[in-house]
Copies of this chain bind each other. A is one copy, B any other.
Amino acid sequence: MNEQEIRTLIERWAVAVHEGDLDGVLADHTDDIVMFDVPPPYDGVHGIDAYRATWPPFFQWQAQGASFEIVSLEVTAGEDVAFAHALLRCGTPDELAAQPENRLRLTLGLRKERGRWVVAHEHHSFPHST
């Protein structure tokens, strides 16, 4: 039940990201969210206002025809704390043609507040090829 609610929340969030729907992206996030984003800042993005501000540049990049699609998702839920990790196809058609196996790695931390799951932490990254 908790696991299914969280899975639905994350899948809905990913659709909102892909559609450039900022309200949908923000709908289930805490005021004190900490995000480790793909680009800097080095110490992470702190708070919902800073989190909100990261999305318009991403949507602009995505408008080239980029994908943002969950390939796999695993959720571990307790009664009031949960985490999840996912792999996503995320890239422009040219990027995905050049590196078809590359994946955005996503980890989320969630809390249940007043009966409702909310995202308090996100960590987005690509593997670093040397």
Q: Which residues of A does B touch, CB under 8 Å? A: 34, 36-44, 72, 74, 76-83, 85, 87, 101-103, 105, 107, 109, 111, 120-121, 123, 125-130
Q: Is B103 within 8 A of A42, CB to CB?
A: yes
- What is the bound-complex CA distance between A123 and B78, given in angstroms? 20
Q: Is A87 within 8 A of B43, CB to CB?
A: yes
- Which B residues lie within 8 Å of A103 (CB)? 42-43
- What is the bound-complex CA distance between A34 and B120, given in angstroms? 21
Q: Is A129 within 8 A of B39, CB to CB?
A: yes
Known: A83-B121, A87-B44, A125-B123. A76 touches B38 (CB 8 A): no
Known: A34-B74, A39-B130. A83 touches B81 (CB 8 A): yes
